[in-house]
Amino acid sequence: MLDEDPIAFLRGRPESSAAYPASRTQPAQIAFDRRELNQILNVYGRKVADGEWRDYAIDTLRDRAVFSVFRRASEVPIYRIEKTPKLARRQGAYSVIAATGQILKRGHDLARVLRVLDKGLRLVEA
């Protein structure tokens, strides 16, 4: 088990198909790749350093991958970053969703979608 590729394990695909007959393999799951996780964790690290976020969870499902952000571990997520490849040709595979369910940003480029989380309060002078 430890010798298997962890990314292949997360996606539900065995490393070698010879060891598992096709009828016994699990359906593929959607997951974030290394580049996507780096981008997400860069934003997450900045927000943790600012004291805004404290915990996260990653869910790999059949139709999407979800990175949930929590202010406290016992609460509901304040933001969800979702990757839904089925929507890649239409609105874009990536979206940021608030705790209320409102889609804050959706698009094809993850870096551009994540910018919605970096927008902070601005001082308005009167």
pLDDT digits (tens, 9 = 90+) for 68-93: 999 887 778 999 999 998 888 888 88
Q: Kind and range of the H or E element at 70?
A: strand 65-70
Domain ranges of the chain: 1-27, 34-118
How distant, in Å, are the alpha carbons of 10, 43, 49 from that of 6? 6, 23, 28
User: What pLDDT band is residue 118 in, cutting at 50, 70 and 90?
Assistant: confident
pTM of this structure: 0.71
